[in-house]
Chain A
Amino acid sequence: DAKTTQPTSMDCAEGRAANLPCNHSTISGNEYVYWYRQIHSQGPQYIIHGLKNNETNEMASLIITEDRKSSTLILPHATLRDTAVYYCIAGRNKLVFGAGTILRVKS
């Protein structure tokens, strides 16, 4: 399973788009990119995942570069409730969580 690298923390103004980057340069062809977030003391919440194509759902958009070595999670209109730890995972047989990015949404 590929290792992922994310910034330790990021700030975002409420109502603006939050763009969370992730590097997964060692990803193999059959490994998916998953994004989860976790608010303290709760189980990780699924956000989105993809293999090659960009994906969008009601929560977020996932942009995967053509070489698949990096991706960006976009929360289009961040709210205070989006403050959480965001995990980017590249895996196939299991999810290997890194330290994630602490996103702070500020009013």
Chain B
Amino acid sequence: KAGVTQTPRYLIKTRGQQVTLSCSPISGHRSVSWYQQTPGQGLQFLFEYFSETQRNKGNFPGRFSGRQFSNSRSEMNVSTLELGDSALYLCASSLEGSRSGNTIYFGEGSWLTVV
């Protein structure tokens, strides 16, 4: 079956703009998590959504937000982009999340460059 799909794969934005990234989880998965990966900070947890509700949140400013739709697809939004937001943004999906010991699968990520 199809894996976790993220779009777009690459994008370039200007400081001050906002960006929306999309994630389609594996069919049947209801938990979607987002991670940011940068060379300096490594992989950091942003938030997790389950059944359209944010269930867990990492230590990121309010400029980072997300949502999940009834079909489990998820979007994350970053407003007022800063140069430091340049990163690989990864989406991960699982049946019910890591608290249930499910296998968690990652997508290939969206590369965001802020100039």
Known: A43-B90, A44-B43. A93 touches B98 (CB 8 A): yes
- Looking at the assembled complex, report how far the CB atom of A27 sits from the nearest CB atom of chain B, in whole angstroms: 13
Q: Are B106's CB and A51's CB within 8 A?
A: no
Most buried by B among A51, A93, A98: A93
A94 contacts the other chain (CB 8 A): yes
Q: Are A43's CB and B43's CB within 8 A?
A: no
Q: Are B104's CB and A43's CB within 8 A?
A: no
A96 contacts the other chain (CB 8 A): yes
A99 contacts the other chain (CB 8 A): yes
Partner of B105, one of A46, A91, A96: A46
Quick one: which of B91-105 are within 8 Å of A by CB? 92, 97-99, 101, 103-105
Q: Chain A residues near B42: list those with CB within 8 A.
A: 97-99
Q: Are A43's CB and B107's CB within 8 A?
A: yes
- Looking at the assembled complex, report how far the CB atom of A46 sits from the nearest CB atom of chain B, in whole angstroms: 6
Q: Are B101's CB and A93's CB within 8 A?
A: no
Q: Chain A residues near B106: list those with CB within 8 A.
A: 36, 43-46
Q: Chain A residues near B44: list those with CB within 8 A.
A: 97
Total of A-B residue pairs, C-beta within 8 Å: 56
Q: Looking at chain B's contact residues, is the secondary structure mostly helix, strand, loop, or mixed?
A: strand
0/1 interface trace, chain B 25-56, chain A, CB 8 Å (1 if under):
00000000101000000111100100000011
Question: How many residues on A have C-beta within 8 angstroms of the other chain's C-beta atoms?
Answer: 22
Q: Are B98's CB and A92's CB within 8 A?
A: yes
Q: Chain A residues near B48: list those with CB within 8 A.
A: 93-94
Q: Are A95's CB and B45's CB within 8 A?
A: yes
Most buried by A among B58, B88, B98, B101: B98
- Looking at the assembled complex, report how far the CB atom of A35 sits from the nearest CB atom of chain B, in whole angstroms: 11
